[in-house]
A = this chain, B = another copy of it.
Amino acid sequence: MKNNKISLAEVARAAGVSKMTASRVIRDEGGFSEKTRHKVMAEVDRLGYLPNRLATVFAGDKKSTFVGVSIPELGNEIFAQLLEGIDRKLVAFAHQTVLGMTEHALDQEEAWIETVLSWQPAGLIVTGRSHSPRAMQLLKGAGIPIVEIWDFNSNPLDMCVGLNHFDSGYSMGRYLGELGYTKFGYVGTSHDTANAASSRLAGFTKAAEDAGGTVKKKLLLKDVPGFYTGLYGTEQLLAAHKDVDVIFYQNDNMAVGGYEYCRRQGLEIPRDIGIAGWGDLPIASIQPYRLTSIAVPHLRIGQIAAEMLLAQVNQHPIKRTRDVGFKLIPGSTCRMQLKTDIDEDIDHSKT
């Protein structure tokens, strides 16, 4: 475990050339003879020389190939996939992801932004559009491309790709209202910071009221938005409000958990209660029922974010905001449609 860091100078000395010549050979930028190339490359291999990229970036006053990517949590599969989409694209263009998990906390995001900026990244991709004042200031002054993702925002700091979560919540609320539901419930997880899920809830609440119904109970749990949280959250919600006739969940995983709770209680769905999720997550594809949900192109968000960032890094012109939309998926976990035909009205997908 000895640190045998070999520098360019050592390679050059071993090859009997100047640092500069060795540098030219290694970067293959021409201006050297074939004989020299052989000598240098032989020493590179023999000594196991690895260039020190810190020095390169530092020397050239260039940007590094780091891209800071912040997401709230990895336990939430939708964010894990977002990150996967981003990293794939970045790697394909020789950039590296420096991870930042904010855990939905603005102060953690701020601390991460400060740290990652000190490494001179080529750009930043941050989830969400609410940031602390100091974070905003840091981002604005960074002088590098910044992409805000997830929650669409027509007036971003720099660039933005995502969808309108408020609208998606509103769509679901209106849809459920049109099916005749009036006593709504919501089960999600809570954080100190307003995030995309809170926007969905706000939209949902608005739609519920517009439809003449009420959200009887908004249950926000201090937990991860997963299967089991959905199950026990539903128990809590129904214990307090037995008359709720449909429950909207923060995501499909929670909804599937909620469905299972209802089933265990002998409730029949959708006869006794309606269940609606969000995200059209993989679990929905293998249930005995078709979950009512909202489909979101989350992989595409990640890819587009990385593309926008790379385009900006390379000074290619690009549209700075992208609303990827969403699509309501009527399922069998809510009662059949009662009032009007709304098929043509439910696709908010913007390609």
State the A residues within 8 Å of B (CB). 1-5, 48, 50-55, 57-58, 64, 66, 69, 73-75, 77, 80-81, 83-84, 87-88, 91, 96-101, 112, 114-120, 137-138, 141, 143-145, 158, 226-228, 230-231, 253, 256-257, 260, 263-264, 282-283, 285-288
Residue in chain B with minimal CB distance to A111: B91
If A74-B81, A257-B286, A285-B228 touch, whether A54 touches B120 (CB-CB below 8 Å) is yes
A58 CB, nearest partner CB in chain B, Å: 5
Pick the contact of A51 from B98, B118, B257 — CB < 8 Å? B118
Instruction: Given contacts A77-B77, A228-B282, A228-B285, list 13 more A-B pairs with CB under 8 A.
Output: A1-B158, A4-B141, A48-B138, A54-B119, A66-B98, A66-B119, A73-B84, A74-B87, A75-B80, A91-B112, A226-B282, A231-B285, A263-B288
Docked Cα-Cα span, A126 to B117, in Å, equals 25
Contact A87 B101 (CB under 8 A): yes
Contact A119 B4 (CB under 8 A): no
Contact B96 A97 (CB under 8 A): no
Contact A114 B53 (CB under 8 A): no
Pick the contact of A99 from B87, B117, B228, B260 — CB < 8 Å? B87
- The interface residues of chain B lying within 8 Å CB-to-CB of A2 are 143
- Which 10 pairs, one residue from A and one from B, show the smallest C-beta to C-beta distance? A3-B143, A74-B84, A80-B80, A97-B99, A53-B118, A227-B286, A260-B286, A74-B80, A257-B286, A54-B58
- The interface residues of chain B lying within 8 Å CB-to-CB of A253 are 282
Of residues A69, A96, A112, A114, which shows the largest number of chain B Cβ atoms within 10 Å of its Cβ?
Answer: A96
How often does this chain occur in the complex, in copies?
Answer: 2
Contact B143 A4 (CB under 8 A): yes
11 A-B pairs in the complex with CB atoms less than 8 angstroms apart? A2-B143, A3-B144, A5-B143, A48-B141, A51-B118, A69-B99, A77-B77, A97-B98, A227-B285, A263-B288, A264-B288
Docked Cα-Cα span, A3 to B137, in Å, equals 13
Docked Cα-Cα span, A264 to B289, in Å, equals 11
Pick the contact of A98 from B1, B54, B98, B145 — CB < 8 Å? B98
- The interface residues of chain B lying within 8 Å CB-to-CB of A66 are 98, 119
Residue in chain B with minimal CB distance to A83: B74
Contact A99 B96 (CB under 8 A): yes
- The interface residues of chain B lying within 8 Å CB-to-CB of A115 are 96
Docked Cα-Cα span, A80 to B43, in Å, equals 40
Residue in chain B with minimal CB distance to A230: B286
Docked Cα-Cα span, A58 to B117, in Å, equals 16
Residue in chain B with minimal CB distance to A257: B286
Residue in chain B with minimal CB distance to A91: B101
Contact B118 A52 (CB under 8 A): yes
Contact B48 A54 (CB under 8 A): no
- The interface residues of chain B lying within 8 Å CB-to-CB of A227 are 282-283, 285-286
Pick the contact of A231 from B51, B99, B228, B286 — CB < 8 Å? B286
Docked Cα-Cα span, A282 to B158, in Å, equals 38
Pick the contact of A84 from B52, B54, B55, B75 — CB < 8 Å? B75
Contact B74 A117 (CB under 8 A): no
- The interface residues of chain B lying within 8 Å CB-to-CB of A138 are 48, 50
- The interface residues of chain B lying within 8 Å CB-to-CB of A145 are 1
Docked Cα-Cα span, A158 to B1, in Å, equals 8
Docked Cα-Cα span, A228 to B280, in Å, equals 13
